[in-house]
Homo-oligomer: A and B are copies of this chain.
């Protein structure tokens, strides 16, 4: 028995032509530990956008019903060489109802249940998913559960990683994002200090309402001084940044070093011995990361990705984190959406241009049967 439905595919050719289209496909019957999920809702996260649109020229693209063809400029096209010619699905996560299963007990037990899943092809009417990675949603709606994985586990992952590294404070460069709001709530619950950087007064108010005690607005003249004070107050020499390009990380390292230098009693040409640690976990800015020589030698910058982190901490810890997410799905880990679109609607110029801007609080939800 097989099932038919619509699914999104994205293909980048070596000449930079990006084709994203909805196609009719046949889904195989699930086997073993697999389940077949009828998808009801899937968010468009920044990590999905990399593969969905990337740096493509959306202004001059060709839009038809359920399809667009655009050009990816250099150096981004060459930078994506590894995917040239590959026809790829998209959509990390989503939620839906299990309509069929393989013959393992774990898989069979999920039939009829609503689950959150991480199939990698969530922009689809059906997905094959691993039963072990499905999270039964109980009474939660598919919309409640659609974003149960990427943002919640990333925000929790930051706190877990910080605790593992002996830190009791974190800095986050995009405080008011959906993920940033979750991180604010988690840090409050766990008694972890948090410095939130935002760009607008309204975002300061939003985070203070959530209980954030150290919100600094990068648009203000007094930004550097306030950032230093917040770092000094909390002891946050450890932070996460989803912007990547430009000087955000550089600014944070400089502020951290200035705080550390202020506590030194003797000058050292090598700067402070205070270890400063930043992680880049996204690329909202595709430009290069600029690091100026101004914070000595005691600093480390890394990329950060959820899946390898989860692998590194083991299944028991991952399960503990997921149960925490499930228990608090509509409170601590709540997501909100600006708009719902079906598979065809998500490929219109209007929708693409709007969600690729990745503005704070303007996330889209794909509802493939609407």
Contacts and interface: CB of A to CB of B under 8 A. Distances in A.
B83 A269 contact: yes
A302 interface: yes
B290 A290 contact: yes
A300 B297 contact: no
A86 interface: yes
Contact of A267 (B88, B286, B308): B88
A355 interface: no
Give the residue among A79, A270, A290 with the most B Cβ atoms within 10 A.
A270
Interface in A224-279: 244-245, 250, 261, 264, 267, 269-271, 273
A294 interface: yes
A47 B244 CA distance: 30
Contacts of A283: 293
Interface string A31-52: 0000000000000000100110
A135 B51 CA distance: 58
B269 A50 contact: yes
Given A286-B293, A291-B288, A267 B301 contact: no
A298 interface: yes
Nearest to A309: B297
B293 A245 contact: yes
A264 B82 CA distance: 10
A305 interface: yes
A179 to B, nearest CB: 16
B291 A261 contact: no
Contact of A79 (B88, B293, B303): B293
Nearest to A293: B283
Given A79-B293, A288-B293, A267 B302 contact: no
Contacts of A290: 288-291
A86 B307 CA distance: 49
A296 interface: yes
B305 A270 contact: yes
Contacts of A299: 302-303
Nearest to A283: B293
A267 B287 CA distance: 23
A304 interface: yes
Contact of A308 (B83, B287, B298): B298
Query: Shortest 5 CB-CB distances between A and B: which pairs?
Result: A297-B303, A297-B305, A300-B302, A289-B291, A51-B269
Given A283-B293, A290-B291, A301-B302, 16 more contacts: A51-B269, A79-B293, A82-B264, A88-B269, A273-B308, A281-B297, A286-B293, A287-B293, A288-B293, A290-B290, A296-B305, A297-B304, A297-B308, A299-B302, A300-B300, A300-B301
25 contacts: A50-B269, A51-B269, A75-B292, A82-B261, A82-B264, A82-B267, A82-B271, A250-B288, A280-B297, A286-B293, A288-B290, A288-B292, A288-B293, A289-B291, A289-B292, A289-B293, A291-B291, A296-B305, A297-B303, A297-B305, A298-B308, A300-B300, A300-B301, A301-B301, A301-B302
